[in-house]
A and B are shown apart, each in its own frame.
Chain A
Amino acid sequence: MIAFVLRRLLQAVVVMLVVALIAFLMFKFVGDPVAQMVGQETTIAEREALRERLGLNDPIIAQFARYVADVAQADFGLSFRTSQPVDTMLAERLPATLELAIVAALYALVVGIPMGVYTGLYPNTALSRLFQAISLAGISLPTFFVGILLILLFGVVLGWLPTFGRGETVQVGWWSTGLLTVSGLKSLILPAFTLGMFQLTLIMRLVRSEMLEVLRTDYIKFARARGLTNRSVHFGHALKNTLVPVITITGLQLGSIIAFAIITEAVFQWPGMGLLFLQAIQFVDIPVMSTYLILISFFFVVINLIVDLLYYAVDPRLRIDRTAISSAAG
């Protein structure tokens, strides 16, 4: 168990180092930081002195090591554009993105699992075919197009829901939440629906194929032979055994949702980190870009790690296999 955890931790650290390298490369290859900092009249000698002071003449390895050390201490530097510390800029935007992502993930789960169970149990009914068609359209529709259509329908034609921004927010400590006001909740509906759409179809398809698989197994036949009710067979035996892969995929998808929120945030002008990142790309604001990259990757890697450990805890077969292998090896 400890060896497994350590190996996964090591893997996570390597991934983060690679991400830091990509972020570092951005600083190296996109624009010249000295040119960004000095005015027109600065002499070449002064520029050279500045380079020396900033450590830009050190070997690349030393610069990278210093960058990693800074990042590990959560020192991300100042934005080129606003001269504010990057970490406060991102921290202000973090609640918006996380609230959107979590609500979207919950919505995808709560709607996707029942749809998947239904299409798995009754694959040939008209409703199942409808769900299947919806899911095929769901993976073929660009997120931004769904979002724009929703804006057109609910915002422009019907005028029921706001189409941009977060509405009114309430400050809870440093966390600004839109979940406590009516306008905040109304503003959340369209973006969350848009963002969760793809994950919903993914979860539905996954639950469906897992259900079809499990329903063919002997222990389901045996449970039926014992005269158990349909309800008990379907939910107690079948659904329960499909949940391990569902939990895994959903966990992994949460990281993707946070990353894919960029597109949804662009469509709905949602004031989250993704929108900040897009603006940063336009203004070549590299500290913001690289910090966003590192932060989102960090979320993703941590979620991956937790899911892997959960998986290990939930599925006893993994543990038995490992001990069997290690004892066989020893």
Chain B
Amino acid sequence: MATIDTKIDADVPAVAHEPPAPPSPLREFWERFSENRGALIGMWVIVVITVLAVFADVVAPHSPTQQFAQFQLLPPAWQEGGQLSFFLGTDPVGRDILSRLIHGARFSLFIGLVVVTLSLIVGVALGLFAGFFKGVVDNLIMRTVDIMMALPSLLLALAVVAILGPSLVNAMIAIAIVVLPQYIRITRAAVLAEMTKEYVTASRIAGASVFRLMFINILPNAMAPLIVQATLGFSTAILDAAALGFLGLGAQPPTPEWGTMLADAREFIRRAWWVMTFPGLAILITVLAFNLMGDGLRDALDPRLKK
């Protein structure tokens, strides 16, 4: 962070004799974003988790599936009987919890990425279509959205998983479907608002194609709320996938997915608190980080929404 600041400061004197140029949008955004301490912390936590997830094979002290038969239910290192090589202890079949958590970060981030990408692409496309070709297309899409919003999201996700069968992939599909309406509505609202503006009319008269109007003229105006929604969508996806995993409808054991790990650990609650506490904390920290960063992005990208 400090290096970025000094670099920009160093550039300023060179152009000092000219009237001060307006700050670049990126820099302006960064200044507003970094005002928010919570958002910065959230961002750094996400960076750390991402690095851990990417280099899980190198960073994790053990394999996530290797069972050390002689070290079952070992407590964390700082408790009596704990060992430094199994820092957060081991689970009932002797797997290293820390290693499983680090590998689990891969699953959680991957789930978030897939769900957000899928729902973003489909949602934006449907929203653009609905906004552009009003009439029948719009009616069809928006009435479907109404129906989806008229049902509790968890129930909808459960129904999808029940039809497709329990697995991590199906859980991701279910969650992506359930969050679609939000992206469709944001995009459609932006299209409807921008279509009436004069620059769009001008562009249209100049002979811009429908795709140019859609993607070059209008979509950038919907970027701010979409970015915010996508960031918060990460936390929703991770939470929902963990919940489905916990219910036995998402990732299946022995996958080191955090929700599944928690469900497995439930019966050992009386003997080994660490088996279930650490996966829960991992979910909490990750989701909290995304929520903090999402709030910060919202304030920085769209000051009108600031409360």
Contacts and interface: CB of A to CB of B under 8 A. Distances in A.
Given A156-B270, A281-B166, A255 B247 contact: no
Given A30-B162, A151-B269, A152-B269, A142 B259 contact: yes
Interface stretch (B7-15, B85-93, B143-151, B213-221): B143-151
Contacts of A29: 163
Given A141-B284, A300-B150, A262 B158 contact: yes
Contacts of A281: 158, 162, 166, 249
A4 interface: no
Interface string B240-260: 001100111100000000010
B307 A15 contact: no
B35 to A, nearest CB: 17
Nearest to B288: A140
Contacts of B263: 144
A306 interface: no
B163 A30 contact: yes
A305 to B, nearest CB: 10
B155 interface: yes
Contacts of A258: 152
B155 A296 contact: yes
Give the bracket for the number of chain B residues in contact with chain A: 35 or more
Given A142-B280, A148-B262, A152-B273, A296 B239 contact: no
- Of B152, B166, B243, B292, most A-chain CB atoms within 10 Å: B152
A240 to B, nearest CB: 21
Interface stretch (A17-25, A46-54, A85-93, A311-319): A17-25
A11 interface: yes
Given A143-B243, A260-B152, A149 B287 contact: no
Contacts of B259: 142, 144
B154 interface: yes
Interface in A276-305: 277-278, 281-282, 289, 293, 296-297, 300-301, 304
A144 B245 CA distance: 11
Given A14-B147, A19-B151, A136-B291, 17 more contacts: A15-B150, A15-B151, A25-B163, A26-B162, A26-B163, A140-B287, A140-B291, A141-B287, A142-B259, A144-B259, A145-B280, A152-B273, A152-B277, A263-B154, A263-B247, A278-B247, A293-B158
**Nearest 5 pairs between A and B by C-beta?**
A259-B152, A145-B280, A140-B288, A140-B287, A259-B155
